[in-house]
Every structure is written in structure tokens, then in C-alpha cells.
Amino acid sequence: RALTVGSPRIFYGATLFYLAFGLLNAFAVRRRLATAYVQLVLQASVDLGALLLILFACGGVMSGLGSLFLVPVGGLAFLLPTRSALFLAALTALSMLALTIWQQLSGGTDLSAYATAGVLGAVLFIVAAAASFVESRMRESEDLVRQKDVDLANLAELSQYIVQHLRESLLVVDDDDKIRLINESAAQILGAERAVPNALVGEIAPRLLYGLSTWRTHERQTDPPPNFVAADGARLIQPHFAPLGSRPGGPTLVFLEDTSAMAERVQQSKLAALGRLSASIAHEIRNPVGAMSHAGQLLAESPRLDTEELRLTTIIQSNAERVSTIINNVLQLSRREATKPERLALAGWLEGFLAEFIETMQIPAQTLRVTAAQPVAEMHGGAPIEVRFDPSHLRQVAWNLCDNALKYGADGVDVRLGRLALNNRPFLEIADRGPGIEIQAVDRIFEPFFTGRKGGTGLGLFIARELCQLNRAVLLYEPRPGGGSVFRIVFADPQRWEE
């Protein structure tokens, strides 16, 4: 039925006041002009007063407008404590009952209005109690969610701290070959400036991407992935891959292992075994080999030998010399004397060494080509490149590398010196254009007694790396672009020299 307004002036005045208060209260809430408690008390008072005036102007509870009280009472019950919410419901019910009594005494309604007022009062209590119950459960849920958020944030911070400060170097790569997570140790290996989240692995470390792609294609392969040189050019890194999750094509966890520390432990074990063996070699093998070599020389001087017999004596002497060389190398390795490092101007030392090498080997001077990463006079503020190395050790290492490059190379030897761009450490490279080293043999070339050619002892590169380690340098191998091999000596950091 149509709404009957008995007092239009009161109705319109209360309605306009209610609207103005609502706008003003919205502005106050937005600007936070009052505390939450003051706003709640003021809102409840205005709601109760304005709605009672509207209810009075429309004829009381029989007009059906009493249900308007459900909205403010229920809404405020979400914001007030349970006792305050029930008090508000009781106050509203009593106000409607008092209004009904007033109208009944003035003849504006009948006795049936009391039943309506009672039902509305009961409904108000039910709404207030239900809203308070829902509010308490929501508050508990909110507190639980907030605590979970704090726990998750703490767990994330803890995980991030652990990952960043792990001694192990690790990163996570997604199926688009982008870095999703990387710790500080791995960033130092790959280059801290470029190895950042969302960077492409192929742009930072192409050989790492090659190993990752090969592993994804043959995930159950037993052969280890190929290693690669770190961004500082002074370490050899062995990657290990593991899938994250069970979804095919998902992210991959990559562990980067610095093989230098592991190789040093292995080498120490091998050296200990060689040291124990060297005494027996000296007594049990060296003397008999010397006797055989001497006997072969005497036999070769006999005038009654024909050509075939002379060839056999030559075989005896050459193999005896080879065995003697092996023995001398092993004895030299087991007797490693203390280093006597000196400050060496690398360009000047290299000039003298190459002159001696060319004269001794009787090769054309153009066979050895020397280049610099940049003009030597411009390096490091115009100062010459200085290294700290035992001169006799450096000569032995360089001689071995140049000799190998001559034997395997088809187009001379390229010698290059300079400083690494990332950490300014001096380096010396010896490269050739030979057949290179097969990828499956790369990890073994520095092992003792491993050789790739007939007649080799397998100790040259092993001793060369050991001598470099004694002088706090690193000897690395890389395949040369276009074919061939590159052996690089990375010298100790000049900032960490100890006198």
C-alpha cells in the first residue's frame, strides 16, 4: 500500500538532515577527522534519532518503516563489541515501543501496533546477535590470516637469506631460459652486473645454456654436463641440474660447482700417492732403466750390427729415455720445493722467454705471434703488467704450453697477454690452431698420466697446473673459436700480493 505521511514537515526535515549528515560523515571518515569510536557513537545516535522521526512522521511501526532499523543496527553490530551491539538493539526496540505508546495514548494507533513493535524488537536482537557472531568469526579469521601472512613473510625472508648466503652457488631458470632466482655466490660466478633476475642465460653464459638444453633433451643421461669458465676467467665451473616440481617443462634448479677446490683436494690425494710411490720408483725403476739405456748405447757402438739390429737398439734407447723422463717428472713432482716468487714485468719476461724458446727449438721467429689485449703501454694507467711468480716455474709452464702448441698446431702459436676486464687480473694465453681437445676429454687433460698422443707422458699439463697453483695462479683450458685450443694462465690478484 502507499506510504502515508502524517507530518510532511518532520518527514522532509529528518530526511534532508539524514542525507546531509551522511555526506558530512563520509567526508569526515575520508579525512579521518575523528576517532573510530566517536564516529560510531555519532552514527548510532543520528541513525536512531533520524529514523525515529521518519517513523513518527509516517504513522509509527504500522507503516512498515520499522524494518529500516535493521540496516544500521546490523551494520553497527559488525563494528561494535557484542555488549554494545546488544545495547544498541535494546535501545532501538525501547525507542520504538515508547513511540508506539505515545501514538496509542494520542489516538494515532491501536493495540495491534504493540505486537508489531515487539516482533521488530526481537528481530533487532536476533540481527545484532548474528552480526556480532559473524563479526567475531571474521575477526578471528582475519587475525589468523594476518598471522599466516606474517609467518609467510618471515619464512620468505628466511628462505631468501639462506639462499643468498649459501656457500653453494645456485639459480633457478624457467622454461624460457630466463633467470628467476639467483644467489650472490652464483651471481659472482656468472658476472654480478649481468646475472640478475629475468636475464637470459644464453646472453650471460652460452656454454651453461648449451649444457642445460642438452640435459633437458636427455634428462636421464649419466655423463656430467660440460663445464665452463666463470665470468672472472679464473675458475672452471661444473653445473648440475635438477627439475623443480613434477610438471614437464617447468623451472630448473642449477647448482654451480667451483671445480678448483674439489680438484685441489683430488690432486692432493694423488700427490700423496705419488710421493709414496716416488721412493720406490727411484730405487726400483730408475737404476735398471739407466742400466738398460747404457747397455743399449754400448750395443749400438758394436761394428758387427746390421741395419735391423741398429734399429732395435734405437728403439731400446728411445723408450728408455721416455721412461727416464716419466721418472724425472714424477720425482720432480714429489720433491716440490718452496716457491721463490718475484715481481716480473710480464711483457719483458715474455720477450726473453720467446727468444730463448725460438733459439732452442730452431724455429722461425714468425712461428710465435705475440699480441696484447690492448696496447701494453696503456694498460693499468700506463704501468707495465706485473705478475708475482717463480721465474723458473713460469718458464717451465710456458715452455710446456708452447711446446704442446707447436706439436699440435698447424699454423704457429699465438701468445696473448693482458688483463681480464672483470677483475683486472693479469693473464697470459697460448693458443694454437690444432685439432683441439675432444669434449669428453676436457675434464681429464690435467690429470696425471692422461695423454692424447702416442709417446706422451701425461704429466706435462698436470705439472704445469700444479706449478701455477703453487704461485696462486690458475691454468685453464678453453676451445678456441674457429678450431684449436687456448691455455690461459690467470695470475694472482696484484691487490693481494704478500711480500
Q: Does residue 3 form part of some domain?
A: no
Question: What is the structure's pLDDT at 376?
Answer: 42
Give the burial string for 445-477 (b: 16+ CB within 10 Å, else e).
bbbbeeeeeeeebbbbbbbbbbbbebbbbbbbb
- Domain boundary residue among 258, 274, 306? 258
Question: What is the structure's pLDDT at 375?
Answer: 45
Task: Using the predicted structure, report yes or no on whether residue 497 has a pLDDT greater than 70.
Answer: no
Main-chain phi, psi angles of 132, to 5 degrees:
-65, -40
Is residue 290 very low, low, confident or very high in pLDDT (cuts 50, 70, 90)?
A: confident
Are both 123 and 12 inside the same structural domain? yes
Tell me the C-alpha distance between 304 and 98, whole Å.
Answer: 148
Chain centroid, CA 444 distance in Å = 28
Are both 287 and 418 inside the same structural domain? no
Are both 83 and 108 inside the same structural domain? yes
Task: Using the predicted structure, report yes or no on whether residue 368 has a pLDDT greater than 80.
Answer: yes
Task: Using the predicted structure, report yes or no on whether residue 347 has a pLDDT greater than 80.
Answer: yes
Q: Of 220-224, 379-383, 425-429, 437-441, which has the strongest mean pLDDT? A: 425-429
Phi-psi region of 360 (alpha: psi -120 to 50; beta: other; left: phi over 0): alpha
Are both 79 and 16 inside the same structural domain? yes
Are both 357 and 282 inside the same structural domain? no
17-23: average pLDDT: 87
Helix (H) or strand (E) run with residue 163 in it: helix 112-165
Tell me the C-alpha distance between 123 and 464, whole Å.
Answer: 95
Q: What percent of the chain has pLDDT over 70?
A: 84
Task: Using the predicted structure, report yes or no on whether residue 2 has a pLDDT greater than 60.
Answer: no
Are both 204 and 73 inside the same structural domain? no
Are both 369 and 490 inside the same structural domain? yes
Tell me the C-alpha distance between 204 and 239, whole Å.
Answer: 14
Question: What is the structure's pLDDT at 170?
Answer: 85
Q: Does residue 1 form part of some domain?
A: no
Task: Using the predicted structure, report yes or no on whether residue 235 has a pLDDT greater than 70.
Answer: yes
* CB 14 within 8 Å of CB 50: yes
Task: Using the predicted structure, report yes or no on whether residue 279 has a pLDDT greater than 60.
Answer: no
Tell me the C-alpha distance between 213 and 175, whole Å.
Answer: 10
Tell me the C-alpha distance between 244 and 172, whole Å.
Answer: 9
pLDDT tens digits, 181-197: 888 888 888 887 788 88
Chain centroid, CA 197 distance in Å = 9
The set of cell numbers assigned to 341 is 716468487
Tell me the C-alpha distance between 437 and 452, whole Å.
Answer: 8
- Domain boundary residue among 258, 287, 313? 258
Tell me the C-alpha distance between 330 and 274, whole Å.
Answer: 7
Cα-based distances in Å from 222 to 21, 225, 240? 78, 9, 12
Tell me the C-alpha distance between 46 and 276, whole Å.
Answer: 99
Question: What is the structure's pLDDT at 71?
Answer: 86
Task: Using the predicted structure, report yes or no on whether residue 89 has a pLDDT greater than 80.
Answer: yes
- Residues belonging to the chain: 499
**Whose grid coordinates read 648440475?**
240
Tell me the C-alpha distance between 104 and 278, whole Å.
Answer: 123
Q: Does residue 159 form part of some domain?
A: no
Q: Does residue 285 form part of some domain?
A: yes
* CB 202 within 8 Å of CB 269: no
Question: What is the structure's pLDDT at 265?
Answer: 67
Task: Using the predicted structure, report yes or no on whether residue 448 has a pLDDT greater than 80.
Answer: no
Task: Using the predicted structure, report yes or no on whether residue 250 has a pLDDT greater than 70.
Answer: yes
pLDDT tens digits, 30-64: 888 778 778 888 888 888 888 888 888 888 888 88
- Domain boundary residue among 299, 334, 369? 334
Range in 30-44, 92-106, 440-454 the model is least confident about: 440-454
Cα-based distances in Å from 402 to 386, 430, 470? 21, 7, 20
Residues 6 or more apart whose Cβ sits within 8 Å of residue 20: none
488-493: average pLDDT: 88
Q: Which residue has the higher pLDDT, 269 or 309?
A: 309
Which CATH number do you get for residue 199? 3.30.450.20
Is residue 337 very low, low, confident or very high in pLDDT (cuts 50, 70, 90)?
A: low
Are both 43 and 134 inside the same structural domain? yes
Q: Does residue 158 form part of some domain?
A: no
Which CATH number do you get for residue 367? 3.30.565.10
Are both 401 and 486 inside the same structural domain? yes
Q: Beta-strand (E) ranges in 112-246?
A: 169-173, 179-182, 228-229, 236-243
155-179: average pLDDT: 79
Kindly report the number of other CB atoms within 10 A of residue 309's CB atom: 13
Range in 54-58, 136-140, 219-223, 426-430 the model is least confident about: 219-223
| Average pLDDT value for the chain | 81
Question: In which domain, by residue range, is 186 found?
Answer: 167-258
Q: Does residue 410 form part of some domain?
A: yes
Cα-based distances in Å from 392 to 355, 430, 490? 16, 18, 17
Task: Using the predicted structure, report yes or no on whether residue 240 has a pLDDT greater than 70.
Answer: yes
Name the amino acid, one letter, at 437: I
Q: Does residue 160 form part of some domain?
A: no
Range in 58-67, 172-181, 352-361, 411-420 the model is least confident about: 58-67
Are both 144 and 104 inside the same structural domain? yes
Tell me the C-alpha distance between 102 and 100, whole Å.
Answer: 5
Query: How many H-runs (helices) and E-runs (strands) does the chain carry?
Result: 14, 12
Question: What is the structure's pLDDT at 275?
Answer: 61
Counting the structural domains of the chain, the total is: 4
Question: What is the structure's pLDDT at 427?
Answer: 92
Helix (H, G, I), strand (E, B) or coil at 304: coil
Is residue 456 very low, low, confident or very high in pLDDT (cuts 50, 70, 90)?
A: low
Are both 266 and 249 inside the same structural domain? no
Question: What is the structure's pLDDT at 447?
Answer: 79
Are both 330 and 346 inside the same structural domain? no
CA dihedral (280, 286, 288, 292) in degrees, to 10, reads 160
